[in-house]
Chain A
Amino acid sequence: MKTIAKAKLPLVLELLAKEYKVLVPAKFEGVTRFTPYQQDVELALEENVIMPPKDIFFPQTEKMYKFKAKDKSLEIEEYPLEDAMQIIFGIRSCDMKSIDCLDQVFLTKSYVDPYYKNKRDRSILVALSCIEPMDSCFCTSMGIDPQKAVGADIQAYDLGDKIGFEAISDVGKEILEKISSLLTEEEVTLPAVGEFNLNADVEGVPEKLKEMFDHPIWDDISRKCLNCSACAYVCPTCHCFDIANEVRGEDGVKIRCWDCCMFDEYTMMAGGHQPRPGKKERVRNRFLHKLRYFPERYDMLLCTGCGRCVVKCPVNMDITSIIRQIKNA
């Protein structure tokens, strides 16, 4: 395998940054997230980033097109699509899986979302393996191998003080070729992955949930929920959005923004009816979507075990414990 000392990793990124826009996990304004590589960037490779790579492909606010409405005429102006290739370095297996989930939503089942597709098509993904799971990680419970990501162009391996690279796709090979002068070829054995603190047994949960829509368990689970969207907005797979107009006089912009099933306006209907009025209905929907509806439609869970929601929830709504409660119900 081709390897490089961790301390020399910036050289690789530097070289790639000459040709591509390179996004790296880094601490930016107090939060770890994927940030364009610059010389003084504060790389964060110890732990997974707080903000998942979701917003690279599906930004929190995305301008779709501009319009001008005057009298009875309407002009629409599209924003030019970018075509420069970008490399995203250091995506963990859980987040790679989340990109797979997003691909299902935005690219399959007869509708292809052009905004997502554009960003997705010009991205080269470099996955990075994990050896030391964080306290909140449970990816293995979700059927994910922390050392082997799905859909990567290059799989990078954390080898302690070194990083190893393995090309998976043709584009990946090309990229590795470009940095090969910096790498050394050597035999490596992959270090063992550490113990996981959290786990969840999802076996049979999607099937069981089919009968559980009216189960009293939802009353109990939802009571402490605050109905904020911290969980959904740090979630790598949550992908609900709302389309809104921003109009100033004759000019307007159509924007697409993240939305969350916890909000009042999310399900508010014309005429004021609210089919999901309270905590119970909203919390139930969130977990049914992740554990039942999504598997039914796409044959995969909408949770990758990254543990972000477990850490960031102000009242510690823990999906692993909810899965346990569903199992025991």
Chain B
Amino acid sequence: MSEITKKIQEIAREILEKGEAEIVIGWEKGTFWYLSPPAFIDKPEDTQRLVWDEFCHNNLSKYLLDYKNHEGKVAIFVKGCDSRAFNRLLQDKQVDREKVVLIGIPCTGLKDQDKAKSLGPNGDIPKAQKCMECKYPTPLVYDYLIGGEEALNEVAATKEAPDFSDVKAVEEMTPDERYDFWTKQYDRCLRCYACRNVCPACSCRECIFDQTRIGWIGKANNSSENQFFALTRAMHVAGRCVECGECERACPMDIPIMLLNKKLIKDINELFGKYDAGIDPEGKLPLGHFDKNDPEEFM
């Protein structure tokens, strides 16, 4: 058992025993060695199920939406990206800071599940793509921190520069090539909405994609409706995506969803100035405010 896992279990037990929170949400080992799905612990003796390893991908902040109307407090573990997601939800007034106990884990980057599956436990498994471009490996907000301040500094050193080369590669294609590329990607979309449901930026109580009767989206699965879904979803999370990459990981059809999200992040940075979602819970969203001096292209 790793040092961090031990600490996680200890702190979770303490929180439950002291009654600081009614439930602790962390990760546990799943069916396979390369899966560490979310675990909901409400009894101190169950805290031994909790683990921390390189496959703790799930962004636990999303689950806070389930506890929005819950009386008691909830404790969750947050990596850098999860803490950004938490800030984002805070910014949208979706969660009450007072009702959440955050336990920060400085994260040195997670490993790619799909590659782990094909390479096996002894293989040299590369980092997940999202972690290779992670600007915020350390939690930005926390009540407790696993590993203390020195761990923060250590992890901060692993900080990576965001890389938009994949976005640029698509930008360099001709319009028809781009259309073919995206049509092929989204033709295999099942519209299972795993990307939406796993996304911490998707916090609408009612989603337009659940309103087929009203006609916001057709029920049929075809190129046109799938692209409507793709583009609308991308616009909806524009300026709110915290780059946790969960959508792409959750996608059963391996659609490069982050390639759309990153395009919007890149453009927001270019058009409206540097902005990283989920850094400042008090700040304004790029599409939620404006500057009179924004670029003018519509004269």
Interface residues of A (CB under 8 A from B): 29-31, 50, 60-61, 135-136, 198, 220, 223-224, 226-230, 232-234, 242, 244, 246, 255, 257-260, 263-265, 268, 279, 310, 312, 314-316, 318, 320-321
Whether the Cβ atoms of B219 and A257 lie closer than 8 Å is yes
CB neighbours of A198 from chain B (8 A)? 31
Whether the Cβ atoms of B188 and A233 lie closer than 8 Å is no
A60-B221 CB under 8 A given contacts A220-B40, A224-B40, A316-B37: yes
Interface residues of B (CB under 8 A from A): 30-32, 35, 37-40, 58, 62-63, 66, 117, 184, 187-188, 190, 192-194, 196-198, 206, 210-213, 218-222, 246, 249-250, 252-254
B72 CB, min distance to chain A CBs, angstroms:
15
Whether the Cβ atoms of A318 and B30 lie closer than 8 Å is yes
10 contacts between A and B (CB under 8 A): A29-B184, A29-B187, A50-B252, A198-B31, A220-B40, A224-B37, A224-B38, A224-B40, A230-B192, A314-B249
CB neighbours of A232 from chain B (8 A)? 192
Whether the Cβ atoms of B190 and A60 lie closer than 8 Å is yes
By beta carbon, the residue of chain B nearest A220 is B40
B133 CB, min distance to chain A CBs, angstroms:
21
Q: What DSSP secondary structure best describes chain B's contact surface?
A: loop
Whether the Cβ atoms of A30 and B252 lie closer than 8 Å is no
**Cα separation A216 to B56 with both chains bound (whole Å):** 27
CB neighbours of B221 from chain A (8 A)? 60-61, 257-258
Most buried by A among B30, B188, B212, B220: B220
Whether the Cβ atoms of A230 and B30 lie closer than 8 Å is no
**Cα separation A181 to B212 with both chains bound (whole Å):** 54
A-B contact sample (17 more), CB < 8 A, given A136-B31, A234-B252? A29-B184, A31-B253, A135-B32, A198-B31, A220-B40, A224-B40, A228-B192, A228-B194, A228-B196, A228-B250, A229-B193, A233-B252, A242-B219, A246-B218, A260-B192, A316-B31, A320-B31
Nearest 3 CB-CB pairings of A with B: A314-B250, A316-B37, A228-B194
Whether the Cβ atoms of A227 and B252 lie closer than 8 Å is no
CB neighbours of B206 from chain A (8 A)? 264
CB neighbours of A279 from chain B (8 A)? 66
CB neighbours of B40 from chain A (8 A)? 220, 223-224
A228-B254 CB under 8 A given contacts A223-B40, A314-B249, A321-B31: no
**Cα separation A220 to B220 with both chains bound (whole Å):** 34
